[in-house]
Structure 1
Amino acid sequence: MGLSTTPAGVVLDLGNVLIDWQPALAIAAGVGAVEAQRFLEAEDFDFMAWNHEQDSGRPWADGVAEVRRTHPHWAAHADAYLEHFPASLGEVPGTTQIVRELHDHGVPLIGLTNWSDELYYPYAAPRFEVLRMLDDVVVSGEVKAAKPDPRAYEIAAERSGLPLERLVFVDDKQLNVDAAVALGMDGIVFTDATALRADLRARGLPV
């Protein structure tokens, strides 16, 4: 999509775009900051890949049981992340205001997040005002499709009522943006709110 074409709607990642996510803070709340860092940097365990399984729909009880079975020395760390998960969440500066402006102008807004439904609905949905300004949120753990799976983007388009090529997608990971662009969406790699505002404005959106 060229910049001369204004997107009809915006699809937004949540983690580290609208909601700050720092897993180290949750793990540290249970086992301390040093142990949290050891766990996240471990050579024998890939926290992000493990977490992605729950984001894709695996129950957390099964995910934690797997750690206990295969990496028992990390079991307390995995338990700490789950038990103290709310401590990992905060607000990304500036993006709530951008969403508010888009919302106030009637621009269709869809969230598309890699997030376990077991953790999203109790801990994020009621806490963050920005989420209530979105028309809908596609939660990967609920739909069993996580970015960069093409199905995740297709579900977001279905929820928006707009074709993929009329949507611009915002995510902090290049991999996820590349997958969106491959499907015909416009794509923006998020770095901060100032850059996002400029990128959206360049596309003719009212921010």
Structure 2
Amino acid sequence: MTSPHTDSPVTDVIFDFCGVLFDWNTRACLTGHFPDDVVDAICADDDPHGFFRYEDRMDAGEDFADIYPDVVREQGEDIARIFRYYIEHYGDALPRMLPGMEQLLRDLKAHGYGVWGLTNWSHETIHIAFDKYPVLNDLLDGTVVSGIEKMHKPNADIYELALSRFGLTASRCVFFDDTAKNVVGANEVGIHGRLFENALGAREALAALGVRL
């Protein structure tokens, strides 16, 4: 597409999902259903039960049914049942869109910018995001999902796939992610990667690149 503003090289903005468009909150899904000390451990950065590791495998394209026996063997039946509950009630871990993000996407579209999604997410649960927040169907021009493609940020191939599929030029794109290594991955393929903190910060980062909203 033609740049909406001649003083900006940016034509398109790509967004991660969890931690950027949505609040991703494992605790919100589990609290009240399982013992507090177990929930605290699962939600800790050094989770001994490996929920993030197993979910990361799903995000990379593995099926829950293939991963679950490993959870049982490595963590025991009790923890495995909690992991199953978590995946089956995944919508509860997405309590809200983050403040200001729906309006940012609307403003970008209103000013002629392309708006896209690029997320590490399981092919088995990605529908939950769109079911719970159907506005995404209107606001995103397209989304690349790691679990569907069996590619995974921060590897270059998934960024290159998004550029190719959407018909984008890397140097004209901005990508927001809340994980530093994924921002680095975007930068390495020539996209303007920016670490996301909040909607206001994203607007400021876009303005610094000449995007006027």
TM-score, scaled to structure 1: 0.91
Which residue in the other structure is 1:165 paired with? 171
* CA positional deviation for 1:105: 1.8
- Is residue 190 of structure 1 aligned with residue 196 of structure 2? yes
Structure 1, 125-134 or 110-119: larger mean CA deviation: 125-134
Which residue in the other structure is 1:75 paired with? 80
Which residue in the other structure is 1:23 paired with? 26
- C-alpha RMSD over aligned residues: 1.7
Which residue in the other structure is 1:6 paired with? 9
The counterpart of 1:125, out of the listed 126, 130, 133, is 130
* CA positional deviation for 1:5: 4.9
Which residue in the other structure is 2:97 paired with? 91
- CA separation in 2, counterparts of 1:16 and 1:97? 16
* 1:30–1:81 Cα contact (<8 Å) kept: no
Which residue in the other structure is 1:40 paired with? 43
SS at match of 2:175: strand
| Structure 1 residues 177 and 47: CA distance shift in structure 2, 3 A | same
Which residue in the other structure is 1:59 paired with? 63
List alignment gaps of at least 5 residues for structure 1.
Answer: none
Give % identity. Answer: 32
- CA separation in 2, counterparts of 1:24 and 1:43? 12
- Is residue 109 of structure 1 aligned with residue 112 of structure 2? no
| Structure 1 residues 29 and 115: CA distance shift in structure 2, 3 A | farther
* 1:99–1:130 Cα contact (<8 Å) kept: no
Query: What is the identity, as a one-letter code, of the residue corresponding to 1:75?
Result: A
What do residues 86-117 of structure 1 show as CA deviations (whole Å, max 9, x unaligned)? 11002101111000011112211110001112
What do residues 64-89 of structure 1 show as CA deviations (whole Å, max 9, x unaligned)? 22101221142122122112211100
- CA separation in 2, counterparts of 1:84 and 1:166? 38
Query: What is the identity, as a one-letter code, of the residue corresponding to 2:49?
Result: F
- CA separation in 1, counterparts of 2:47 and 2:153? 24
How many residue pairs match? The answer is: 203
- CA separation in 1, counterparts of 2:55 and 2:32? 18
| Structure 1 residues 105 and 32: CA distance shift in structure 2, 3 A | farther
* CA positional deviation for 1:32: 4.2
* 1:165–1:185 Cα contact (<8 Å) kept: yes
Query: What is the identity, as a one-letter code, of the residue corresponding to 1:134?
Result: L
Which residue in the other structure is 2:4 paired with? none
- CA separation in 2, counterparts of 1:56 and 1:80? 20
- CA separation in 2, counterparts of 1:193 and 1:109? 15
The counterpart of 1:145, out of the listed 114, 137, 151, is 151
* 1:109–1:160 Cα contact (<8 Å) kept: no
- CA separation in 2, counterparts of 1:36 and 1:131? 33
- CA separation in 2, counterparts of 1:6 and 1:144? 31
SS at match of 2:151: coil
